[in-house]
Amino acid sequence: MNRNTLPLPEDTNTAGKDRFSIFYGWYIIAAGTLLMATCFGIIYSFSVYFTALQSEFAWNRAATSGAFSLYLLLVGFFSIICGRNVDRFGPKPVVLTMGVITGFSLVLSSLVQNIWQLYLTYSVLLAAGTGGIYIIAMSTASRWFYRTRATAMGILGAGGSLGTVVMAPVSAWLIVAYQWRTAYMLTGILAWCLMIPAALALKRSPAEIGSGLDGNPRLTVKPTSGAVKTSGFSVSRALKSGSFWYLSLLWFWFSFCLYMVITHIVPKAQDLGLDPMRAAGVLSILTAVSAISRIAGGLVADRMDKRKLLAVLTTVMAMSLVWLAAAAEAWMLYPFAVIFGITFGGGDTSLIAVVTDVFGIAKVGTMMGILMISWGLGSALGPFLAGWVFDRTGSYGGAFIMAAVGLVLATFFSMKLKLENPSQPAVAD
């Protein structure tokens, strides 16, 4: 029997054990969760600062959302750099550098006097500091787990959502009590205090501690004796596959919709009469629900075809956006926040896990970095387009309907995916 097709063992005496009492992969998840919570709490809270920035500088919604759109566009560029550097140098030095930059970007953002300065300090510097954190956390986790890979990624994603649950209302309170400049200054200091220690805990792979996938030394994906040879599937071959382009379009439309909502849900809530704290609460509900859904989505995705799961979630997500487009009263935002949170949380977890399923582990950091170009384009266009539509029509309705149509297309793309290089870890002799 070919060693690369040997069945995985059931529970053995070595499974889940290491020279550490707890498999170090879970420390990786803890550090990654802290990083995700910090960075995404900062990123998603831009919506909370939206009205304060617009009011102080008299910017329209297109110009204000443009700062966030430029940030998201640059995320794709920096994700490629981070993906390559993590595959080459490991996650620790890359994340240490990013943590320092993130803190400086927010401290400098607290001092801006005009829009071009905000575009430089927030859009450019923050993208350099946080732009690759998603790729780093997910690709690093994928190298430590096999059976529970989607679950592990779901926990990481939940960290990002829970960060927003905390950061959004805290930022709203700081803005009301001390103004937005102080809020950004304190957030920058917090980023240093959390990101730098988390970076120090990161390790590239189980091989660094003499272990294997899931803590079982007998399970490995390294191209050595007893291991599956994933290195034969090159990045160039992946880029020529139909699945890569379907995934690119899927990532584009998913991020287009997600960041359109994340950026404009608080201004939308305020337009419907909610005060700043209650408006931020809508965002907190959305992200809190998504945190639960990320973990639940990971558990489900580990047990079924992730492509089918994506198709279901994107369909329901599209329906929720039609509801949001029709929302004329504040109470309608709450069921939307719950449904959208469920679908985007589970969908995001499945979307990441399916990349490894389709292309294998060997170049997962690089592949996710490349796919982030599509993610960045979609996430940049969505918020800006919504702001532009609002400035000209006085409503977000047309933009939300466009996003719903895009998600219907994403449903089709998810069903077209093929497993180009499905890597099954082998049992070492």
- The b-or-e profile of 140-151 (16+ CB within 10 A means b, else e) is bbbbbbbbbbbb
Tokens encoding 338: 């719950």
Whole-number pLDDT of residue 420? 54
Segments in the chain below pLDDT 70: 1-20, 211-235, 238, 302, 360-365, 369, 418-429
Whole-number pLDDT of residue 248? 83
Please state, in angstroms and rounded to a whole number, the distance separating the CA atoms of residues 125 and 71: 9
Report the predicted TM-score, pTM, of the whole model to 2 decimal places: 0.68
Tokens encoding 97: 């550098």
Whole-number pLDDT of residue 223? 43
Whole-number pLDDT of residue 344? 84
Whole-number pLDDT of residue 215? 62
* Mean pLDDT over each residue of the chain, to the nearest integer: 80
Whole-number pLDDT of residue 306? 74
Angle between helices 242-271 and 276-301 (to 10 degrees): 150
Q: Which fold has domain 19-427?
A: Growth Hormone; Chain: A; (1.20.1250)
Per-residue pLDDT of 28-69, as tens digits, reads 899 999 999 999 899 888 888 988 888 888 888 888 888 888
